[in-house]
Structure 1
Amino acid sequence: MPAGEPSWSADLYAAALRAGHGPLYLRRADGSLLPLEVERWCAEADAVDLEVVRWCEGAVLDVGCGPGRLVAALIAEGRRALGIDVSDAAVARTVGLGGPALRRSVFDPVPGEGRWGTALLLDGNLGIGGDPRALLDRLARLLAPGGLLIAETVPGDIDERELVRVDDGRGGGGAPFPWARLGTPALLRLARSAGWRLDGQWAAGGRRFVALRSRAASRTAEQPNSTAVISSQRARNPSPESVVDAR
């Protein structure tokens, strides 16, 4: 999310991640506040998160990994995983949990482009950049042919694009940046038009998820998960560049 990077890497968000709690919000143009679940993000992966982990295939790219609970859970299960986030504080916390992570926008060059088995867009990260179609197109290029995208959606048939800012609810706020919110119906409409197909959808713990499959490879193409699973005997904290190696 190029336009949003300065706000997500600013003091309010970083301070909340370091403290492990909010309050923290996204303030919308009309003044209303969307709560950010900092406490849940900074906790260990819960049962709902672990169900997402079970859906994952091959090497996993957690886009907007935040403080790293999903990356840590994946590594603990012996999977290859990498978190990317525009916040130094998020990357530091992820690495502190034993998970490889890079300070990187999803729209910047990412290690293993075109070879990831699964990409994650959880905790509102479907909104990154304020243009879900551009984000879906970018993830299609990051995933291996036939790769899996697991996205978390908001309740209802919501399709919102607007400028928001990180806010502590006490008068402190960052610069505005574009953001989006999609419910499952809106995401499915957009995904179909962008060439994705539905692989599954479910709800758990008050949260909603959609699994989408990118275009499949040709018959002669390399299978996407041929080298994607890491042995549980390997190091728990590999370098980010070594997470995906399809050579």
Structure 2
Amino acid sequence: MSAPPATALAWASADPYAAALRAGRGPLFLRRSDGWLLPLEVERWCARADRVDLDVLDRCEGTVLDVGCGPGRLVAELAARGRAVLGIDVSEAAVDHTVRLGGQALRRSVFEALPGEGRWDTVLLMDGNVGIGGDPRALLDRAAELLRPGGLLIAETAPADVDERVHVRITDTHTAAGAAFPWARLGTPALLRHARGWERAGQWTAGGRTFVALRSRSASSSAEAPKRTALISSQRARKPSGESPVADR
């Protein structure tokens, strides 16, 4: 499957983004054509995982793929816990930062061929990454391809009830990098509307951030649903499988 070129190339070649990651701070925004700016939380992304992040990571099961891992705080935290985890990002600066923190990461789009397809236990779409590609349904379909049957997707949604497709550029307010590319913003109700073929496994709000957990369907999903929902609620993580897709590079 090929990557959506506009989105992948824009982030990969965005000098303001790379500069912000190297500095560990913004300001950095996604700029819409009408001038509207969406702030990007570079300082939080470059810091250690906070208590809200840790709660999300406690809910992860088995092997974890962090899509759009950015500078790698979540990958590094899971790796420090001894979990099998891989980050992917189209930005070389982001991948380099993740590796320096001690995590494994590849410079790749989620829509390209990836290690362990169909065998990941958990896929993460954090920090607005549910907007990747500007087509939520296509992204959800791709996540289902990456997960094992009955696997877990945890997505961070916009705190507002929003469902929009936009074209944006990456900017530090002085420099807008590259061509405009498609992006999406989804609140929880919108994501659940798009999640046809998925089972709802939980939703919650913490620290002003909102999250949804979805379970990919499998032949035995109906029988397993109560047990798996209890697992989400208790925030217990399964031990990584002996057959780790992280090593399948």
**Same fold per TM (> 0.5)?**
yes
What SS does the corresponding residue of 2:179 show, helix, strand or coil?
Answer: coil
1:13 aligns with 2:10: no
**Alignment partner, residue 136 of structure 1:** 140
**Alignment partner, residue 24 of structure 1:** 28
- Post-superposition Cα deviations, 1:47-98, rounded to whole Å, max 9, x if no partner, equal 0000000000010000000000000111111110000000000000000001
**Alignment partner, residue 96 of structure 1:** 100
The aligned runs of 1:157-176 (5 Å cut-off) are 157-176=161-180
The aligned runs of 1:107-186 (5 Å cut-off) are 107-186=111-190
Structure 1 unmatched runs, 5+: 220-224, 231-237
Deviation at 1:227, TM superposition (A): 8.1
Task: Return closer, same or farther for 1:227/1:112 CA change in 2, 3 Å cut-off.
Answer: farther
1:87 maps to amino acid: S
The CA distance in 1 between the partners of 2:124 and 2:172, in whole Å, is 26
CA contact (8 A) 1:146 1:214 kept: yes
Deviation at 1:226, TM superposition (A): 9.4
**Alignment partner, residue 205 of structure 1:** 207
- Post-superposition Cα deviations, 1:184-239, rounded to whole Å, max 9, x if no partner, equal 00001111x2x0011001111110000000012459xxxxx998347xxxxxxx9x
CA contact (8 A) 2:69 2:75 kept: yes
1:228 aligns with 2:244: no
CA contact (8 A) 1:150 1:209 kept: yes
The CA distance in 1 between the partners of 2:53 and 2:127, in whole Å, is 10
Deviation at 1:15, TM superposition (A): 0.7
Number of residues of Structure 1 aligned to a counterpart in Structure 2: 229
Q: TM-score, normalised by structure 1?
A: 0.88
CA contact (8 A) 1:18 1:89 kept: yes
1:2 to 2, 5, 19: 5
CA contact (8 A) 2:135 2:183 kept: yes
Structure 2 unmatched runs, 5+: 222-236
**Alignment partner, residue 233 of structure 1:** none
Deviation at 1:34, TM superposition (A): 0.4
Task: Return closer, same or farther for 1:226/1:45 CA change in 2, 3 Å cut-off.
Answer: closer
Task: Return closer, same or farther for 1:102/1:171 CA change in 2, 3 Å cut-off.
Answer: closer
RMSD in angstroms over aligned alpha carbons? 2.0
CA contact (8 A) 1:61 1:120 kept: yes
2:217 to 215, 218, 221: 215
1:196 maps to amino acid: W
The CA distance in 2 between the partners of 1:94 and 1:229, in whole Å, is 23
Deviation at 1:241, TM superposition (A): 4.8
The CA distance in 2 between the partners of 1:56 and 1:186, in whole Å, is 23
The CA distance in 1 between the partners of 2:6 and 2:142, in whole Å, is 16
The CA distance in 2 between the partners of 1:14 and 1:171, in whole Å, is 13
Q: TM-score, normalised by structure 2?
A: 0.87
CA contact (8 A) 1:114 1:143 kept: yes
Identical aligned pairs, as a percentage?
69
The aligned runs of 1:51-90 (5 Å cut-off) are 51-90=55-94
CA contact (8 A) 2:61 2:238 kept: no
Task: Return closer, same or farther for 1:226/1:21 CA change in 2, 3 Å cut-off.
Answer: closer
2:87 maps to amino acid: G
After the TM superposition, list the runs of 4 or more consecutive aligned residues in structure 1 that deviate by more than 6 angstroms.
none
